[in-house]
Structure 1
Amino acid sequence: MTSPTEAKQVYSEDHLPEFTPMPWTLSEIRAAIPAHFHVRKTWKGLLYLARDLAMAAVVWRVALHIDPTFRSEAMLQYLTPHAAETARWCAWAVYWWFQGLIFTGVWVIGHECGHGAFSASKRVCDIVGFITHTLLWTPYFSWQISHHRHHSNHASMERDEVYVPKTRSDLGIPKEGDVAFDYEDYLGDTPIYTLFMLVRQQVLAFPAYLLFNVSGQKGYPKWTNHFDPKSVLFTQRQRDAVILSNIGIAFMVWVVTEASRRWGASEVVKFYGIPWLLVTHWFIMITYLHHTDMELPHYRNSQWNFQRGAAATVDRNFLGWQGRFFLHDVAHFHVIHHFFPMLPFYNGAEATGYLKTFIGDHYRYSDRPVFQALWESYNDCQFVEDEGDVLFYRDRKGQARVRPATPFRAQTSDSPLAQQDTF
């Protein structure tokens, strides 16, 4: 017999919260947001950019004194040589942390430009965006094109550009009830290996996406990338913009090569390379957590529309005040950004209040510590089902946290959801 304790642990999707897709039109949602929040002020965007560049310069200037200070005779006498060396690396760690955040803020300004949210002038947006993104090794126009397609198709299983969930069949997992199997055989990993894969994702995912379409749309041909003007990502009219982006990246190769020759590769890595790696980490961590959660829906076919896809993201309290100050609210108020990508970031907080009031429970926010959330999402969000037009992630045990409401559930006879409806 099953004990009461064991009975409580039995998983049943009949007890999961039900989800009904958003019913409103985009026009209805837009009408709920005061029009003045959509106004773009070039002078205000330039002030934020100037602030970021000034902070980067000051922090860089301070870092120039780290090695001379902690290797000086006075410091070696005041501290032991071992303590002075430890303090020196601690100082570098502080520099990398804050310069990485500052650089990420500069990258966010370029991201705003890519959406046309920085200024009402497209020329201003493209000039500022091209410079800021090129300085941080992002092909501005190429990434702008694919990122726009992501926004236009977010949470669509067929058309989204990034973070498209793997399906049960992608992972070769049998359907429930077909054969006896253990999910551990397909999804089980040691914590050490999982940590290694997570760190690899955080450091390399963005370059891998640009170069090899890693985590991108599965339907694209092999060797799809952001540097080939003839890539399926681009139309013939966009090829000149892709070439211009490539010229910018080639220029950065020359700059870094010359800097390494003049000041040494180790100095370039310390002052610029590691902060840049942190930019790629923060960007991937932020976007991954925006779009990956057990309670976020994905859609197939007729159940997808723009506003439903826009709501399938989550705002997060990312690094508290540091995330708001250095990262321009890009993580704290991302939901409103998906609804209205041209709305300036400095209006995100107030506009989100109106959005939340209008869409209610369809707005999602998490104040869970972000590194904890990253670990949990990476472990839990494993796959979605092959059937159904409204989908939620399943974890390493094949279990979901939310189920579609009855009218939106899979109706095929071999679907786990359909099988449960027969009881």
Structure 2
Amino acid sequence: MTATLDRLSTDRLGPLENVTLRDVIKTLPKECFEKNSRKAWQQVGLSIVMAIVGYVAIALSPWFLLPFAWFFAGTALTGWFVVGHDCGHRSFAKRRWVNDLVGHIAFLPLIYPFHPWRLLHDHHHRHTNKQDVDNAWHPWSIETFTSESKLMQTAYWLMRGRLWWLASIIHWAGIHFNLSNFAERDKRKAQVSIAVVVIFAAIVFPTMIATLGIWGWVKFWLMPWLGYHFWMSTFTLVHHTAPDIQFRPVETWNEVEAQLAGTVHCDYPKWIEVLCHDISVHVPHHISTGIPSYNLRMAHQSLKDTWGDQVRIREEKFTWNFMRSIVDHCHLYHPEQAYVPFKALRR
């Protein structure tokens, strides 16, 4: 069995069969890993200013322009998440306490507990595209799907289909507040982060409702928050999903294939990439989480120049046709075909 798996791995990886992730990292310029406090705090400033612009637009917009203001504010809040994302990977600042403090503050308006997200997200990076192990939306097998209740089947059908943009809300609520998901040594940190967002919500939400009413809470918090989750869901799905990107079982999983060839770079409209601090430049981020977001484009170009002749580094453009190729097909895990759509079950 081992010999067969080795042969399959060799056939699949070709020239990369003897390459390790460390080998790939060594080819990146050292400048990619340099932390620049000025650039880091410029990102913070940009996110704060753009969020203010978004909320002013919400306050001043007539009803028919509110959806645009909500979407802009939600996109600006995604920039807050990316700042916290760098903090979680310790690539924002050199001092850990600065990363932890800024990360908690950046995640507050999103009601995201910082340490639970950081710990679970690290697991995703260690096990990217590893079937049944990766915790960032690995696809269900046909057997798993058919064995679930009708309620769970319906929920999965919706989240992997045209309602993909709500999936990160389920992910947020389902795993980040459950202390059983964390090792004993990490539970204290998880409890602190959960307490921070619960206290924040317990103070801010009643205050908003008391002063602005229920509609004010919906208008100024819930709708921008849903806009943020649209991007959270979309980025997570697009970064690791395509009709030919395969999740692998533990026995045949290879870190270079998963991180270099199993992640996707997607070009979005420029204003989105600016507000979201280039989080869509995702391939180098999976090669090394130590690369700050403002250096991702440099690292991406280096990977293309060095490894582009040996492996296809995925580059896509965010269009409805591209999204449809994912949400209309990439439903259920298949060990040879990568994915089969739900309609295959009816044949």
Any stretches of 5+ residues in structure 2 without a counterpart? 1-10, 148-153
Matched with 1:31 is 26
Matched with 1:202 is 165
C-alpha displacement of 1:276? 0.8
C-alpha displacement of 1:49? 0.5
- State the aligned residue count: 322
Any stretches of 5+ residues in structure 1 without a counterpart? 1-17, 67-87, 174-188, 213-224, 400-423
Distance 1:63 1:379, change over 3 A: closer
Matched with 2:40 is 45
Structure 2 distance, partners of 1:277, 1:210, is: 12
C-alpha displacement of 1:52? 1.2
Instruction: Map residues 337-376 of structure 1 onto 2, 5 A cutoff.
Output: 337-360=285-308, 361-369=311-319, 371-376=320-325
What residue identity is the alignment partner of 1:393? Answer: Y
Instruction: Map residues 39-118 of structure 1 onto 2, 5 A cutoff.
Output: 39-66=34-61, 88-118=62-92
Instruction: Map residues 258-269 of structure 1 onto 2, 5 A cutoff.
Output: 258-269=207-218
TM-score computed with the length of structure 1 as normaliser: 0.71
CA-atom RMSD, angstroms? Answer: 2.5
Matched with 1:394 is 340
Distance 1:338 1:391, change over 3 A: farther
Matched with 2:235 is 286
Confirm or deny that 1:271 pairs with 2:220.
yes
What residue identity is the alignment partner of 2:266? Answer: R
What residue identity is the alignment partner of 2:323? Answer: L
Q: Does the 8 Å CA contact 2:54/2:73 hold for their aligned counterparts?
A: yes
Q: Does the 8 Å CA contact 2:244/2:337 hold for their aligned counterparts?
A: no
Instruction: Map residues 105-254 of structure 1 onto 2, 5 A cutoff.
Output: 105-172=79-146, 198=161, 200-203=163-166, 205-212=167-174, 225-229=175-179, 231=180, 233-254=181-202
Secondary structure at the aligned position of 2:302 is classed as helix
C-alpha displacement of 1:171? 3.6
Matched with 2:151 is none
Confirm or deny that 1:313 pairs with 2:263.
yes
Kindly provide the CA deviation profile for residues 226-271 of structure 1, in whole angstroms up to 9, marking residues without a partner as x.
Answer: 2233x0x211111111111111221232211121112212112112
C-alpha displacement of 1:62? 4.3
Q: Does the 8 Å CA contact 2:82/2:279 hold for their aligned counterparts?
A: yes
Greater C-alpha radius of gyration: 1
What residue identity is the alignment partner of 1:367? Answer: K
Distance 1:103 1:349, change over 3 A: same
TM-score computed with the length of structure 2 as normaliser: 0.85
C-alpha displacement of 1:384? 2.7
Q: Does the 8 Å CA contact 1:289/1:373 hold for their aligned counterparts?
A: no
Structure 2 distance, partners of 1:197, 1:156, is: 18
Structure 2 distance, partners of 1:194, 1:246, is: 30
Matched with 2:6 is none
Q: Does the 8 Å CA contact 1:110/1:128 hold for their aligned counterparts?
A: yes
Distance 1:228 1:171, change over 3 A: closer
Matched with 2:8 is none
Structure 2 distance, partners of 1:102, 1:226, is: 22
Percent identity among equivalent residues? 24
Structure 2 distance, partners of 1:264, 1:98, is: 23
Matched with 2:278 is 329
- The structure where helix makes up a greater share of residues is 2
